[in-house]
Amino acid sequence: EKAHETGNPADTFEYDDELPGGGQFYCVETGKHFADAKALADHKKSRYYKRRCKELKEEKYSQQTAEWASGMTKEVLPPAHGMKK
């Protein structure tokens, strides 16, 4: 919303002579800079870009899953040798 209020697009970057296209054409999903808008548009149609977007949408491991996989369970197990009388 702020981009619409100020009139500046949210995806504009500061000009940098060291980067292709002055750093103005950047793909956030893949982390690449492009020389012009056409190259960026072509990149967004590519298989690599689409695969990366799909990968970013997938849920990664949670802390609970990591603990489960490492054997750090929180369940209470019965005694190994049973109850003594």
pTM here is 0.49
Instruction: Taking residues 5-28, report their average pLDDT.
Output: 65
| Mean per-residue pLDDT over the chain, rounded | 75
Does pLDDT of 21 surpass 70? no
d(CA 21, CA 37): 9
**1, 45, 64, 65 from 58: Cα distances, Å:** 27, 20, 17, 15
| Beta carbons of 29 and 53 less than 8 angstroms apart | yes
Does pLDDT of 10 surpass 60? no
- Model confidence at 70, pLDDT cuts 50, 70, 90, reads confident
Nearest to 33 by CA among 45, 12, 19: 19
Does pLDDT of 62 surpass 50? yes
| Beta carbons of 49 and 40 less than 8 angstroms apart | no
Q: What percent of the chain lies above the pLDDT cut of 90? A: 4
